[in-house]
A and B are shown apart, each in its own frame.
Chain A
């Protein structure tokens, strides 16, 4: 089968008598495509921070680039969303489940939940949906899921602007506690980015997960008290106390309730689970650090096959 026509006249003569591996070692050549160490990986990622932000902004802009109204949709979409929820829950059903200021309560929940939901969905497709980029260019792959989470954060900031208008319309007073929204968002972003990295690795190996996630996320939404207050629903029912505690410690519920506590004056601290800031920080650190290490462990496998 091998039918080399004649021995290749080599120019310049490679020192083939020597071991090629030794030659590589002598000139300090590294194995191609090897995974960098964790500190080196963090350094590379930091060096690409401008790429991460530019990519997020670019994605956000591209989203409405085919629409005639263009970037107006950034604000219109959350406002329309809120209007639909107001129509269904406020006017049609007239239901408030015994919650004061139900519409602000509901809209805050929906916006904050959407942030987590779309970060995770985008994270699942971060690698498998950008194979062209991954196969063409070299950069720390964690830049992609982080960038997608950042894009959703930018999207949420537009929603928050709409939310402020809605809050003022419903007569919620501007209060000093609104500042608490910032640490709550930082923690939630860290959590989202971490989960997005976990999902990105799983989605890169098994793209089928992207088909499954909408159902998982919908179940999670109903367990997180987006449209009702967990304590109102569980009180007076014959449930073991750990069920309520578990429901309230669920990260999505924690971040939603923190945002409500920060923004809505009738949502009191008594409605929050005990040690809520500790729980919120714990989830953020667990997901953020754990997700990053989990993602890095498979760095060299992304985009192959």
Chain B
């Protein structure tokens, strides 16, 4: 099936998705012991009184992603891009609606943690095994992963513990491990922004390669250039709503006009932060 990238096979379907965060410990009596006890004892009835606040992060978003597509997610900070990605990965529950996926989407985030006290070498093995590869498969891919990450370009760093790595090196290794497996659906959260220029070029090439192997790639980035280089379709989220869905050039043009020249736009955008909760009794 990898040989025939068929545009009509959907891999991710979001059907009217709402995502709501509940945040404890806001409002009156913030952080005090009595407020906490109150929350524990009175649960639901006291949700409002005890200062549980709801943040509606994603509102009624629907889209269909097809096999072989690379889709960019753009939007200003706090617009719900990462939240939507986590929900597609099955790591956040949706409030309303459904997300259907073909196979298991894998989230490749900058935050993805490996074990800092272990050597890079062991982390490659652990990461590979955790993704469901067999020992033999990891062994086969090992050299490829290390070479791709470029960790050993400046000496034998792969046998040193991860805690000795620079943040860029660690992010590169994480990307290399995750990209070693052919994913059905790969979700990338601003991972491209971390490496140096030569690594960015390699990872863009790798993403194109992953797309060829019948996967679908979602990319969250604030770097319009890397979106333009890798994606052919873009979803623009603003304040949790899907504002535009279309070919990269068209959407990016609108988006750049929106971010670059806000004053010229008719409706000014208030802060994405939700309004303060009404003062509880």
Contact = CB atoms under 8 A, between A and B. Distances in A.
Interface in A3-60: 3-5, 8-12, 14-16, 20-21, 23-24, 27-34, 47-48, 50-51, 54-55, 58-59
B27 to A, nearest CB: 18
A47 B132 contact: yes
Nearest to B265: A3
A171 interface: no
B241 interface: yes
Contact of B88 (A20, A27, A32, A137): A32
Nearest to A34: B90
Given A24-B13, A136-B112, A31 B100 contact: yes
Contacts of B130: 48, 51, 55, 133, 137, 139
Contacts of B254: 5
A30 B101 contact: yes
B245 A10 contact: yes
Nearest to A132: B113
B129 A51 contact: yes
Contact of A33 (B62, B93, B117, B243): B93
Contacts of A275: none
Contacts, number: 156
Contacts of A62: 115, 117-118
Q: Which of A4, A34, A136, A304 has the most CB of B within 10 A?
A: A136
Contacts of B126: 51, 54-55, 58
Contacts of A61: 118, 122
A20 B109 CA distance: 28
Interface string B95-138: 00011111011111101111101100010011101111011000
Interface residues of B, number: 65
Contact of A29 (B21, B87, B102): B102
Interface string B250-276: 100010000000000011000000000
B91 A303 contact: yes
B131 A137 contact: yes
B10 interface: yes
B92 interface: yes
A177 interface: no
Contact of B99 (A1, A27, A28, A32): A32
Contacts of B140: none
Given A31-B98, A136-B107, A5 B244 contact: yes
A21 B98 contact: yes
A59 B114 CA distance: 12
A294 to B, nearest CB: 20
Given A9-B250, A24-B100, A133 B91 contact: no
Interface of B: 7-16, 21-22, 62-64, 66, 86-93, 98-102, 104-109, 111-115, 117-118, 122, 125-127, 129-132, 134-135, 161, 233, 239, 241, 243-247, 250, 254, 266-267
